[in-house]
């Protein structure tokens, strides 16, 4: 088997599966209530975009996810920096972060709804907490892993504190952050969608919970497909950014 054509085989297998699924649906072998056929899922997607009612939900989810991502990167990063520079902060912060890291953080969703209401704030908060904890460990670890030899090299070239930050610490930490950016993006969307699923009036998660309460499997699967496409597109963008910024690696 030529590994170059793996994608062709994968695509063929996927096509065959879809065709079999479609055929089984048309032959009334599958209950559309549980397993709507691919064409029904496709039709639902077309209807969502055609009627335009999807946009407000997409907007809500994207806003919450991206806001949580940005805030989480900044706050988690800053805490990571402070946590490695100030021993007292490190001492107090480490156990909290370790605990937050150990639990599935989405269990905080109901609490955020109670505290912040069913509006976008509770979704941003969930997204934020998922990303911030990840970034804290990424940045703290990145700083600890900085190569001592590079530090000494810059010092012997008469580089001061600022030169060390700029030429050694920042690029070194940026590399760690880039490497976990994809995971962070995934976390941000998880936070937004789960938050909406718990309680909301807009968003893909809200639509998902609505579909569930009306036993609308076609809508649920359509949303799953939509979310997969969205995340894949963002992964592709993040991947390109990563390849560009880490081209030295």
Residues of this chain that interact with another protein (CB under 8 A) are: 147, 149-150, 152-159, 163, 167-168, 171, 175, 247-249
Nearer residue to another protein within complex by CB, 146 or 183: 146
Cβ neighbourhood burial of 193 (10 Å; 0-12, 13-18, 19+)? buried
Please report how close the Cβ of residue 249 comes to another protein at its closest, in angstroms: 7
Cβ neighbourhood burial of 31 (10 Å; 0-12, 13-18, 19+)? exposed
Nearer residue to another protein within complex by CB, 28 or 148: 148
Please report how close the Cβ of residue 183 comes to another protein at its closest, in angstroms: 22
Helix axes 204-213, 181-198, angle to 10 degrees: 50
- Both tokens assigned to 32: 């559309």
**d(C-alpha 175, C-alpha 8), whole Å:** 33
Please report how close the Cβ of residue 179 comes to another protein at its closest, in angstroms: 14
Task: For the chain, give the number of residues.
Answer: 249
Nearer residue to another protein within complex by CB, 38 or 171: 171
Nearer residue to another protein within complex by CB, 38 or 159: 159
Q: How many CA atoms lie within 13 A of 229 on its CB side?
A: 9
Nearer residue to another protein within complex by CB, 173 or 218: 173
Nearer residue to another protein within complex by CB, 52 or 160: 160
Please report how close the Cβ of residue 156 comes to another protein at its closest, in angstroms: 4
Please report how close the Cβ of residue 194 comes to another protein at its closest, in angstroms: 36
In sequence order, which ranges of 51-144 are alpha helices (DSSP H)?
A: 54-85, 87-102, 109-116, 120-144
Please report how close the Cβ of residue 139 comes to another protein at its closest, in angstroms: 17
Per-residue HEC secondary structure of 204-241 comes to HHHHHHHHHHCCCHHHHHHHHHHHHHHHHHHHHHHHHH
């Amino acid at each position: 088997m030529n590994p170059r054509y793996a994608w062709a085989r994968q695509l063929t297998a996927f096509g065959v599966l879809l065709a079999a699924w479609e055929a089984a649906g048309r032959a009334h072998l599958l209950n559309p209530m549980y397993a709507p056929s691919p064409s029904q899922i496709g039709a639902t997607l077309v209807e969502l975009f055609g009627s335009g009612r999807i946009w407000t939900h997409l907007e809500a989810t994207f806003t919450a996810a991206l806001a949580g991502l940005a805030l989480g990167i900044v706050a988690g990063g800053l805490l990571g920096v402070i946590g490695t520079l100030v021993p007292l902060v490190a001492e107090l912060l480490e156990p909290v972060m370790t605990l937050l890291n150990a639990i599935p953080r989405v269990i905080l969703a109901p609490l955020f709804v109670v505290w912040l209401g069913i509006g976008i704030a509770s979704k941003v908060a969930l997204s934020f907490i998922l990303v911030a904890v990840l970034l804290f460990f990424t940045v703290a670890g990145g700083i600890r892993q900085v190569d001592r030899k590079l530090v000494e090299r810059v010092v012997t070239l008469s580089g001061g504190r600022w030169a060390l930050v700029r030429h050694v610490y920042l690029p070194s930490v940026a590399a760690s952050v880039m490497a976990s950016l994809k995971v962070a993006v995934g976390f941000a969307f998880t936070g937004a969608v789960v938050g909406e699923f718990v309680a909301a009036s807009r968003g893909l998660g809200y639509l998902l919970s609505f579909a569930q309460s009306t036993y609308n499997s076609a809508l649920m699967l359509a949303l799953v497909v939509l979310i997969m496409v969205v995340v894949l597109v963002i992964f592709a963008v993040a991947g390109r950014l990563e390849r560009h910024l880490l081209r030295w690696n």
